[in-house]
Structure 1
């Protein structure tokens, strides 16, 4: 035995040397491959969203060779299958594996009244497919299963990479919609339905940032299949009950007696299996369409998609919606129109081509026929040029917040609007929409704008309608009689979007504002006689502009003071007199967000209501009634 041990020493030493050699030859920073992900998507009547869904899916930065695709499509009344096939023909070879199965008939489920109806047969079919996706992920030894709906647009390329990096059992990227709807719940009632909580708003509005435990996620859900308790997950009600009665799940979790609903059953199985669910709002991941009611048509989904696309154009640096060229034949834009107006002007500085690009893309999506109007650039003005143009500043004017005289940018802004007013008169244009190049349109903008214009015309003569503004005073704005969406406007800032009539343009020109210049968003309230500064108001007469405002507003700024991407060409420009009249700290900006006024007491409001009723013969607006 001893002789064997001695003779083995050289062999052992040689083996150790070989190991050392092998280890020393390995790279110092070995990079492991990312986990494998199976993306499962169910597709039905999504021809309108698929070009964008698939483009953004392809745009994800996660390595394609670590992704397997599992698509199922059936009961379609459109070209959904054809769209997917076109995309797969171009890109399928980039992915580790593609499994696409579809059925072209039948068109409807048993007892289904419309494509948006959800009879029992449809729920059972959907649940069976999601159960199949769960089994598929386990069969191919995928590390993660990503359940992704075909109407969720993951606009952030790092979405999947970020979710995987969190190493959570179940996590969803928070998706935005046109309202407060999203793909997570923060509360669930005892009968398994949605419960609104304060935390939901905090997360949705990004008042707090991170990833948070929640009782429900859906639409875009990443499941870690290596986390053993996820083996107990199910979308099937009978499976859930069977697991509960077999004591496979938490015994304190009551026997499921909730609805036949895939996402509620899944959430209940996760909660009873001890599998925590999270939602992450750490990035702007993307967008989601709100579900349709059974009495709504697919056309409503297309309108929601339009709203989503206009939001993406404004929110994302590229200033457009990404869509692959292979889908050109499936993308349709509205015919050009002018909202029943004579003309639409968009003011844009020539040195801001990125704004023009973004706005042109918005006009394309909305079908707006808009003339680009070159703005007067304040950077090209100076005191001598202003004098040569015959412009005189209002004596004693100072900015109410900064206590300075007008900036060259403000003068350029006024001249831009003024020249459009002149052009309106020269061309005899009866009604015109004037917009600036840093706006976002409210959802369903076209329909709302046309409705507001019809309401205004029914009132008789008007001069101006704000589509977007910043309300400044805590004052009641009475509703315009016999209208639903118009109020008599109070003191307001911003000229980002307003309708002006020919009579209104003539009134604005007739007061010769270039002889006593103040900023244009101060001048307009002076002219409809709601400006609080009597000294400025006294310089102009008559002050009889008949002005309304949309309520609620249908245009807003793209950015506010301090936000990433905020630029002001009026405030951040040379002052006509460089020295400030007063040293002001923490001054407000015109581009700050709208003021949230305190609620008025009932007695005061009722007294003012009576006074306004006597003056205008009208009732309070819905907005003011809500404040009461």
Structure 2
């Protein structure tokens, strides 16, 4: 039984995704609250214009409809965690694969570092600069993240950090994973203390390295090059470069 509340972001039209992740959470004995995701493409012209005007981005970094919907959906989750009674909440996107060890990690919060604003549970195939282990989640080391990361498919968020995110200046707000984890480009990310569980407890379908387990959900936000970044010669070069820079592979298991 999870004592950490789970908030699952899911579009109304994505019935197959909801069925997939609900079946998995039922198998693991995990309760959750569904958040009806915002579909950016269905915002009115006025709503979209107001959103972008409050959060200006230049050139190719302009807001795509999927990014707008994703951000507003995560914002809903942050507000719920901030307003709730629990010290932490888990935010999940609906294409997530969960490890068998997930229930053990969510059965208590004693392992969460006391200064943690965020604990990332997911792998995206990215190598990260990590500090030494400070605790263990279901037997897995928990390490401070020292480099930029991408992906916002599965992360624990403290109630205090959720309140800060929800109340943040819109001028600082960028697409959800960039806003939370891009240390180079996000002042908010630099202000947060973020940890990573290694090996990861979760992976989004589009980042899953286990071909037999992929559901083929793809992404409403990313382009079709996501899986190409994880495979082939360019991916090998990236792994070698990351290892030489002292980064650690964060894999799903």
- TM-score of the pair, normalised by structure 1: 0.34
Whether 1:544 aligns to 2:191 is yes
Whether 1:460 aligns to 2:118 is no
Whether 1:493 aligns to 2:150 is yes
Aligned to 2:30: 368
| Deviation for aligned residue 1:478 | 1.4
Aligned to 1:523: 179
| Deviation for aligned residue 1:454 | 3.0
| Deviation for aligned residue 1:493 | 1.1
- Map 1:117-516 onto structure 2 (within 5 A): 337=1, 339-341=2-4, 343-388=5-50, 392-396=54-58, 398-399=60-61, 405-450=62-107, 453-456=109-112, 459-470=113-124, 472=126, 476-483=129-136, 485-489=141-145, 490-512=147-169, 514-516=170-172
How many residue pairs were aligned? 236
For structure 2, which runs of at least 5 residues remain unmatched after alignment? none
Query: Could you say if the C-alpha distance between residues 568 and 389 of structure 1 is closer, same or farther in structure 2, counting changes exceeding 3 Å?
Result: same
1:471–1:492 Cα contact (<8 Å) kept: no
Aligned CA RMSD, in angstroms, stands at 3.2
**CA distance in structure 2 between the partners assigned to 1:591 and 1:409 by the alignment:** 20
**CA distance in structure 1 between the partners assigned to 2:163 and 2:227 by the alignment:** 27
2:151–2:177 Cα contact (<8 Å) kept: yes
2:180–2:188 Cα contact (<8 Å) kept: no
Structure 1, residues 200-221: CA drift from partner, whole Å, max 9, x if none?
A: xxxxxxxxxxxxxxxxxxxxxx
**CA distance in structure 2 between the partners assigned to 1:397 and 1:510 by the alignment:** 26
Task: Tell me which protein shows more strand as a share of its residues.
Answer: 2
1:394–1:517 Cα contact (<8 Å) kept: no
**CA distance in structure 2 between the partners assigned to 1:388 and 1:448 by the alignment:** 40
Structure 1, residues 27-53: CA drift from partner, whole Å, max 9, x if none?
A: xxxxxxxxxxxxxxxxxxxxxxxxxxx
1:469–1:495 Cα contact (<8 Å) kept: no
2:207–2:227 Cα contact (<8 Å) kept: no
Rg bigger for which structure? 1
1:479–1:488 Cα contact (<8 Å) kept: yes
Query: Could you say if the C-alpha distance between residues 364 and 491 of structure 1 is closer, same or farther in structure 2, counting changes exceeding 3 Å?
Result: same
Query: Could you say if the C-alpha distance between residues 406 and 450 of structure 1 is closer, same or farther in structure 2, counting changes exceeding 3 Å?
Result: same
**CA distance in structure 1 between the partners assigned to 2:230 and 2:117 by the alignment:** 26
2:81–2:159 Cα contact (<8 Å) kept: yes
For structure 1, which runs of at least 5 residues remain unmatched after alignment? 1-336, 400-404, 573-586, 606-619
Identify the structure with bigger relative contact order (alpha carbons < 8 Å, sequence gap 6+). 2
Aligned to 1:115: none
| Deviation for aligned residue 1:447 | 2.1
SS at match of 2:217: coil
Aligned to 2:226: 589
| Deviation for aligned residue 1:361 | 1.3
1:392–1:516 Cα contact (<8 Å) kept: no
**CA distance in structure 2 between the partners assigned to 1:545 and 1:375 by the alignment:** 25
1:345–1:433 Cα contact (<8 Å) kept: yes
